[in-house]
A and B are shown apart, each in its own frame.
Chain A
Amino acid sequence: MDFDFDSDHIALEAGLDQLLAKYRGSLPVGSAAALQENPAIAASLRDAGYFDIEREMGATGAVMLIEAVAKLPYTLEVAASALVAPKLSKQPLRGPIALSQGSLATPTRFLPQAGSALMADGNQVRAMDLSGCKVEALTSQFAYSYGRCAAADITKAPVLPGVTVGQLQQWWQIGLAAEIVGAMHSAIDLTVEYVKNRRQFNRPLGSFQVIQHRLSECTVLLHAARLLTYKAAWSGEPTDAALAATYAQDAAVRVVYETHQFHGAIGLTLEYPLHYWTNRLRRLQGELGGASQQGSRAAQALWAA
């Protein structure tokens, strides 16, 4: 047992911290749009080799990357490219990568920018190059870009040999949990700072115990979700992945509610940064069928119903 990162991972953490610092500090407040992308982040991560982190530093390294990026106010596809694809495909796939449960006719995250898609098809997984695909970009409020491609014939895409849908789900779940953890972390940090400074009734809101307690509970959920996510990355056990995703998706719902509640009206504006994380958490809470489906899958695997 060892709950600290080893020296390589500590160095990775520091490297990421340094590289991402400038994007963290500059919250585009005031002129904020619902969707924030910043191609410069992807480019600098790619140049520094971070998208290949899984090969060098395993799933734990990839989760650290996903978590660090998810803390930013910008949206960026990294979970599929840095974790899911390297785990499933020997050939590198053109990024960004969209993940799909089988039909590109449903709104799919990152599809408008995606170079390829990883898709469930029965018990197989297919990797599709999207170059010839006519993607209909959707206008979405919910942080990510979405697209669909009704005409895509997925049966033409090559099957990844020996890869099961269970494996796709497993690494998708871990990436999802890591994204949730990063986004929850930033939303909670922002809210804690806010209630320390916002005064009503001649005192900081953060001195009210009800607010302290509910944010402390969010903090416990965050610590727990994070540890479960790292455990799942470490063990490579499908049930650990499903449990981490179940826990994280449940926690996301709670954290969105509490962080908004304690911001009052300002949290609902696009001129204040909370929405960067809210919108993502709202989308992530229902991914892969949501916490209940994730849980039911975990239960069937754990106790072979």
Chain B
Amino acid sequence: MDFKWTTEHDAYRQRIKDVLKKHLPADWAQKSLYDNGSDFTVAFSRTFCPILAQEGLLIPHWPKEYGGGGMDAFHHWILNEEMWAEGEPRAYQYMSINWVGPAFIKFGTEEQRKVHLKGITSGAISYCQGFSEPNAGSDLAALSTRAENTGSSYVINGSKIWTSAASFADYCILLVRTGLQGRGGITVLVVPMDTKGITVRVIPSLQGARAIHEVFFDNVEVPLSALLGEQDKGWGVVTQILSNERIGAPRYALTWRGFNRGIELLKQHGRFKDTDVQAAAARCQGALEAAKALALRVIDGRVKGKPADAETNVARYAAVMADRSVCEFLGNYVPDFIFAADEPMLASAYKRTASIGIAAGAAEVQLNLISRNLLKMPREE
């Protein structure tokens, strides 16, 4: 075992830090509020992603033939850590890199790859994920938004909910039902968000601006070439996407930064001498270290070409526990600073701990998967 970064990895992290220092405005904290859906951050990302692309820092880990840097998955993780800790100056572009692009690489047609991979690697286009529906959350395979194959096009009717970034994304990776009930009848379509018949409503939330939306489809017509993979075989695409998404964003990176700021404030104000506070802080640090090490173990598996397994769910659940312990710590010991509104990073880190156990698969669903796939527990008879 070796828990040390190579000098190459360290140098790469330093390059990212340098680029962030050079390009993030001095008043980044006040303007972005560490919210990747804020008007400011989204506008910023539109110039920042192309800059990252020019610097060769946008897509370290894809194969070179697809416009990536051909580096190992650790580089990708390092990039994600640094970006996430700054509140994501790429806005939601990280999704394109984490799972949209890889889905096109694996399932896309020549034509789709040409358009989409070029758009992603230049930092020009961004996506949203139209999976969840009002009646299909954890039970995603129950989705009912329908697409009719008319022979010359797909006509889509239905609605999606909880869609992040929907009001400013260029495309939606949309799950629709083309066949019968269940996993077998699901299809993935790539739908331009400016297609006629799509209406988007922002849902105000605790998570930040434009983090969740409702998206309505009223006789939305797209060409047959919008199909990603095969018709009725979308579930295979979904599984692939979810395994890249679950350990995708290193959420602990911002949580950790907020936690460190909390400690700093406690010390400055003479409130860190209490041994209860100290013990609680160490428990958070342990939980964060564990979440990080378990996530890195998953990335190590990716680097070595191992298929994703239940370790992913273990790592995800450990990340939920870490966010939860930090949320509790900050809420217990520095509530005055959180609520004073002059600590945007602390406030954002605190606020965002609430979603990790829900977004990208509820915590309890991770436990179900650990029970089934790691402990091999029996199903209900």
**Chain B residues whose CB sits within 8 angstroms of the CB of A3 once the complex forms:** 1, 296-297, 300-301
**Chain B residues whose CB sits within 8 angstroms of the CB of A305 once the complex forms:** 267, 272-273, 278
- CB contact under 8 A between A295 and B381, given known A2-B1, A231-B289: no
8 A Cβ contacts from B208-265 to A: 263
Q: Answer whether residue B378 sits at the interface, using C-beta atoms and an 8 A cutoff.
A: yes
**Chain B residues whose CB sits within 8 angstroms of the CB of A203 once the complex forms:** 378, 380-381
- Please determine whether A303 and B267 come into contact, CB atoms closer than 8 angstroms: yes
Give the CA-CA distance A247 to B286 in the complex, in Å: 6
- Please determine whether B1 and A213 come into contact, CB atoms closer than 8 angstroms: no
- CB contact under 8 A between A299 and B294, given known A196-B378, A231-B289: no
- Please determine whether A300 and B289 come into contact, CB atoms closer than 8 angstroms: no
Q: Answer whether residue A43 sits at the interface, using C-beta atoms and an 8 A cutoff.
A: no
**Chain B residues whose CB sits within 8 angstroms of the CB of A196 once the complex forms:** 376-378
Q: Answer whether residue A44 sits at the interface, using C-beta atoms and an 8 A cutoff.
A: no
**Chain B residues whose CB sits within 8 angstroms of the CB of A217 once the complex forms:** 317, 367
The chain A residue sitting closest to B297, CB to CB, is A3
- Please determine whether A212 and B375 come into contact, CB atoms closer than 8 angstroms: yes
**Chain A residues whose CB sits within 8 angstroms of the CB of B321 once the complex forms:** 220
**Chain B residues whose CB sits within 8 angstroms of the CB of A4 once the complex forms:** 1, 300, 304
- CB contact under 8 A between A243 and B285, given known A204-B378, A213-B367: yes
Q: Answer whether residue A75 sits at the interface, using C-beta atoms and an 8 A cutoff.
A: no
- CB contact under 8 A between A2 and B300, given known A196-B378, A204-B378, A300-B278: yes
- Please determine whether B296 and A1 come into contact, CB atoms closer than 8 angstroms: yes
8 A Cβ contacts from B280-318 to A: 280-283, 285-287, 289-291, 293-294, 296-297, 299-301, 304, 311, 314, 317-318
Q: Answer whether residue A14 sits at the interface, using C-beta atoms and an 8 A cutoff.
A: no
**Residue in contact with A224 in the complex, picked from B275, B280, B282, B294, CB distance below 8 Å:** B294
- Please determine whether A296 and B2 come into contact, CB atoms closer than 8 angstroms: no
Give the CA-CA distance A192 to B282 in the complex, in Å: 30
**Chain B residues whose CB sits within 8 angstroms of the CB of A219 once the complex forms:** 314, 370, 374-375
**Chain A residues whose CB sits within 8 angstroms of the CB of B273 once the complex forms:** 305
The chain A residue sitting closest to B273, CB to CB, is A305
Q: Answer whether residue B74 sits at the interface, using C-beta atoms and an 8 A cutoff.
A: yes
Q: Is the interface of A mostly helix, strand, loop or mixed?
A: helix
- Please determine whether A215 and B300 come into contact, CB atoms closer than 8 angstroms: no
Q: Answer whether residue B379 sits at the interface, using C-beta atoms and an 8 A cutoff.
A: yes
**Chain A residues whose CB sits within 8 angstroms of the CB of B280 once the complex forms:** 295
**Closest Cβ–Cβ distance, residue A229 to chain B (whole Å):** 11
Give the CA-CA distance A9 to B277 in the complex, in Å: 39
- Please determine whether A1 and B278 come into contact, CB atoms closer than 8 angstroms: no
- Please determine whether B293 and A294 come into contact, CB atoms closer than 8 angstroms: no
- Most chain B beta-carbon contacts within 10 A, residue among A2, A202, A225: A2
**Chain B residues whose CB sits within 8 angstroms of the CB of A211 once the complex forms:** 377
The chain A residue sitting closest to B298, CB to CB, is A3
- CB contact under 8 A between A294 and B282, given known A196-B378, A215-B375, A220-B314: yes
Instruction: Encode contact with B along A173-210: 1 for CB under 8 Å, 0 otherwise.
Output: 00000000000000000001001100000111011010
- Please determine whether A228 and B378 come into contact, CB atoms closer than 8 angstroms: no
Q: Is the interface of B mostly helix, strand, loop or mixed?
A: helix
**Residue in contact with B300 in the complex, picked from A1, A213, A302, CB distance below 8 Å:** A1
Q: Answer whether residue A111 sits at the interface, using C-beta atoms and an 8 A cutoff.
A: no
- Please determine whether B2 and A1 come into contact, CB atoms closer than 8 angstroms: yes
**Chain B residues whose CB sits within 8 angstroms of the CB of A6 once the complex forms:** 1
Give the CA-CA distance A272 to B53 in the complex, in Å: 62
- CB contact under 8 A between A220 and B318, given known A2-B1, A235-B3: yes
Q: Answer whether residue A250 sits at the interface, using C-beta atoms and an 8 A cutoff.
A: yes
Give the CA-CA distance A291 to B278 in the complex, in Å: 11
- Please determine whether B374 and A299 come into contact, CB atoms closer than 8 angstroms: no
Give the CA-CA distance A292 to B321 in the complex, in Å: 18
- Please determine whether B375 and A216 come into contact, CB atoms closer than 8 angstroms: yes
Instruction: Encode contact with B along A265-305: 1 for CB under 8 Å, 0 otherwise.
Output: 00000000000000000000000000111111011101101
Q: Answer whether residue B364 sits at the interface, using C-beta atoms and an 8 A cutoff.
A: yes
- Please determine whether B318 and A292 come into contact, CB atoms closer than 8 angstroms: no
- Most chain A beta-carbon contacts within 10 A, residue among B277, B289, B297, B376: B289
**Chain A residues whose CB sits within 8 angstroms of the CB of B276 once the complex forms:** 292
Interface residues of A (CB under 8 A from B): 1-6, 9, 60, 192, 195-196, 202-204, 206-207, 209, 211-213, 215-217, 219-220, 223-225, 227-228, 230-231, 234-235, 240, 242-244, 246-247, 250, 291-296, 298-300, 302-303, 305
Given contacts A3-B1, A227-B297, A291-B279, 5 further A-B contacts (CB under 8 A): A215-B375, A219-B374, A228-B289, A302-B282, A303-B272
Counting from the closest, the 6 A-B pairs by CB-CB distance are: A295-B282, A299-B278, A224-B290, A212-B371, A295-B279, A216-B370
Interface residues of B (CB under 8 A from A): 1-6, 9, 74, 263, 267, 272-273, 275-283, 285-287, 289-291, 293-294, 296-297, 299-301, 304, 311, 314, 317-318, 321, 364, 367-368, 370-371, 374-381
Could you list 17 A-B pairs, sorted by A, with CB under 8 Å? A60-B1, A204-B381, A212-B371, A216-B370, A224-B290, A227-B293, A246-B283, A247-B290, A291-B283, A292-B275, A295-B281, A295-B286, A296-B282, A298-B282, A299-B278, A299-B282, A302-B282
